Amino acid sequence: MSLGVMIQQLSGGMLVSVEIFVVTLLFSLPLGLIICFGRMSKNRVLRAIVSAYISIMRGTPLMLQLMVVYFGPYFLFGISISMSYSLIAVFIAFSINYAAYFAEIYRGGIESIDIGQYEAAKILGYTKSQTFFRIIMPQVIKRILPSVTNEVITLVKDTSLAFVVAVAEMFTKAKQIASSQTTMLPFVIAAIFYYIFNLVVAIAMNKSEKKLNYYH
């Protein structure tokens, strides 16, 4: 098999990896903020439930969570599982997993803001929502960006775990071709893809961080 044909066969897996990455971020970033609010709630019951959720998501392997989301409907409710559900299960598992991590990152950023800023905003007549989204959140984003970048880079590599539920992403395709052609070249191509993908993400996040540097 020529290099061109090999790359062509791997391209489908590349697109699936990118799709998992994009969809996960689209859902986990806003969901993480909602979970963060629950974690910081004055309601003890809600805070305890959210804290338990975060603890479970962070304390168990993502691979295990993928299997629970995929096989759960069948074993718990007797719902038959179709192959089309595989990718949906990946989206769900990745989103709820990364939302837990982002929630803690958000919480750390919000709690790092001086209480005086809230008081000053109240004196100026800002509502609680205006204070948060216009004054607090821009500062939080700046402070948490390095931590978010680390999680986003990890997400790129974690997309390879989708093989657990038979989703043919980049790494799965590479294994299939390597097995049939008895060559390591697909793994080399996959490694280059992941490296370039991570490099692009790191550069983009670094530029965003510089734009938010008020003292630059």
Supply φ then ψ for residue 23, to 5 degrees. Answer: -65, -40
Q: What is the pLDDT of residue 168?
A: 75
Indicate the range of 3-7, 62-66, 84-88 predicted with least confidence: 3-7
- The per-residue pLDDT of the chain, averaged, comes to 87
Confidence of residue 216 (pLDDT cuts 50, 70, 90): very low
CA distance 140 to 133: 10
Q: What is the pLDDT of residue 215?
A: 46
Confidence of residue 190 (pLDDT cuts 50, 70, 90): confident
**Cα 80 from chain centroid (whole Å):** 28
pLDDT tens sequence across 128-141: 888 888 888 888 88
| 3-211, CATH topology level | MetI-like fold (1.10.3720)
What percentage of the chain carries pLDDT values higher than 90? 37
CA distance 61 to 38: 23
Higher pLDDT, 58 or 2: 58
Using the predicted structure, report yes or no on whether residue 40 has a pLDDT greater than 80: yes
Using the predicted structure, report yes or no on whether residue 54 has a pLDDT greater than 50: yes
Using the predicted structure, report yes or no on whether residue 162 has a pLDDT greater than 90: no
Q: Quick one: tokens of 111?
A: 């709690």
Contact of 69 with 91, CB cutoff 8 Å:
no
Cβ neighbours of 153 (radius 10 Å): 16
Query: Whole-model pTM above 0.85?
Result: yes
Q: Collapse the DSSP code of 79 into the 3-class scheme (helix H, G, I; strand E, B; otherwise coil) and give the result.
A: coil
